[in-house]
Amino acid sequence: MNSQKDDSTSAWKCYFSRMRILSGIQPSGTLHLGNYFGMMKPAIELQEKGEAYYFIADFHALTTVQNGIALRANVRELAIDFIACGLNPDKAVFFRQSDVPAVTELAWILSTVTPMGLLERCHSFKDKTARGLAATHGLFAYPVLMAADILIYDSDIVPVGRDQKQHLEVTRDIAVKINETYGSVFKLPEPSIREDTAVVPGLDGAKMSKSYGNTIEIFAPENALKKKIMGIKTDSTPVESPKITENSSILGLYKLVASETDYQTMEGEFLRGGTGYGDFKKRLFGAVWDYFAPFRIRREEILKDPVFVDRVLAEGAEKARGVSDGVMRRVREAVGIG
């Protein structure tokens, strides 16, 4: 399959219906617009088109969140927020990574065929250590665990943001190594990266990311959200002059949340001049606030039932183990353990 054809078109519907779609997200902080448009929204749309398995990557989060109470709270909050944003537990299997402990066993098996050089080339380890994270073995081996996450469910399609593309390449390389060593054990998964939202811009124009402190949180209270959006970095072009549209965070974000007509109007005003950045930001705030309004309502509903999320994750874990048990039997048989 060609990953350039990722956008969901009707022609793909029948293809996806036979596909297993898998993705994970780390419970490492509050969800932002980059997470939503880069990973969650595509994953939510794909849940209609195949057998979806989505999980909360708490084993991965241990590489950065080293406080048990905080991690547990993050997992719960992420589960609530993901469901509020549209993940439908009746359609998608939704679970916690650590509820399928066999994934760490598979990660070890995969690590025995993974060349060091493959991991040494990974950007994410280099980026994270450059930012001051401790260069632990867990951080270095992170892509191997991610490969195990994907391969243990015989996944076909993996919707992620562009920053995860290299990890998918590593996953495929590892799967090929195992297949070369032990015969045909694994399917080769494909990333699904939506080009229209591959990189959501942050408040400063760089990629929106927790680590850059330039995020807009999906469920931020009204005043906090307004303050953030009004704080978007802009240049000093006078009100009456035309504004640069290229790489504008305001336009980039507005495109995601506004109607096509409203977007065209704003783009036209950028090009014509006569409107100040403050006005554009106010309109962007209004559009973001309205876009997420139904999600806020759903979130309030979920919060009223304190055991709902636990029940969803427990049922999801059982279904996930149903698949992983079968794959692990195949793996153990092939490699000669257990």
What positions carry a catalytic annotation? 128, 207, 210
H or E element that contains 92 = strand 92-96
Q: Is 46 in the site for ligand TRP (CB under 6 A)?
A: no
Tokens of 14: 């029948």
Tell me the C-alpha distance between 81 and 298, whole Å: 9
Residue from 21, 23, 33, 257 touching ligand TRP (CB under 6 A): that is: 23
Partner that binds at residue 146, options ligand ADP, ligand TRP, none, CB closer than 5 to 8 Å by kind: ligand TRP
Tokens of 121: 């080339």
Residue from 75, 208, 220, 232 touching ligand ADP (CB under 6 A): that is: 208
Tell me the C-alpha distance between 35 and 85, whole Å: 11
Contact 48, 91 (CB under 8 A): yes
Phi-psi region of 237 (alpha: psi -120 to 50; beta: other; left: phi over 0): beta
CA-closest candidate to residue 75, choices 90, 62, 87: 62
Q: Is 210 in the site for ligand ADP (CB under 6 A)?
A: yes
Residue from 12, 20, 24, 243 touching ligand TRP (CB under 6 A): that is: 24
Binding mask 151-170 for ligand ADP (x = CB under 6 A): ---------xx-xx------
**Alpha helix locations (H) across 26-136?**
33-35, 41-46, 58-61, 68-84, 102-111, 116-120, 123-130
Residue from 26, 74, 192, 197 touching ligand TRP (CB under 6 A): that is: 26
Region binding ligand TRP by CB under 6 A among candidate stretches 42-50, 158-166, 233-241, 323-331: 158-166
Residue from 128, 207, 228, 243 touching ligand ADP (CB under 6 A): that is: 207
Distances 324 to 43, 112, 154, 314, 335 between C-alpha atoms, Å: 20, 20, 8, 15, 16
Partner that binds at residue 207, options ligand TRP, ligand ADP, none, CB closer than 5 to 8 Å by kind: ligand ADP
Binding mask 109-148 for ligand ADP (x = CB under 6 A): ----------------------------------------
Chain contacts with ligand TRP (rule: CB under 6 A): 22-26, 57, 60, 146, 149-150, 158, 160, 164, 167
